[in-house]
A and B are shown apart, each in its own frame.
Chain A
Amino acid sequence: MGQDRKNGESNTRRLRTFEEEILDDQRTELVITIRQIMLMIILIILVVLREYYYPSDIFITDLF
C-alpha cells in the first residue's frame, strides 16, 4: 500500500516533470518563431528605408 502510494507520487511527479518539459520546449520553439518575425520585420524596414533614401541605387526591388 505504502509502496503503491510512493509509486503513485513518483509517477505524478514524473508526469508533471514531463508536461512541464514539453511546455518548456514548446515555449522555446514559439520564442524562436517570435524572434524570426521580429527579425524579418526589422530587415524589411531596413530594405524599405534604404530604397526610400537611395532610390537610384541598384537594390533588391530591381529583382522583382
Chain B
Amino acid sequence: MKPNHGAVLPCLRAVGLAALLLILVSQFSTMLRTHFAPPGLDLEARPLSYPMLGLAGTLTLAVLARLAGTFLARQENYYDTD
C-alpha cells in the first residue's frame, strides 16, 4: 500500500505546536535554576527569559540579515562578468 505522505506534515505541525507549549510550561517549573547563566543577569526571576532571548535574538538576526542582504546581494554571475 502506498504511504499517505499528505498527512505527515500536518501531523508534524501539530506535534511541533504541542512541543512548543510543553517547553513554554516547563520554563515555569520550580526546578529551574540559573546554573548556566551568569549571576549579573538575574534570570531566575524571569522564567521566560531564555525563550525571550531566543525570540528576540533570532528576530534581530533575521532583520539584520534582511538589511544586510539589500546591500550585499549580487547576481549569481557577479564574479564571472564583473
**B is bound to A:** no
Give A residues with C-beta under 8 Å from B: none
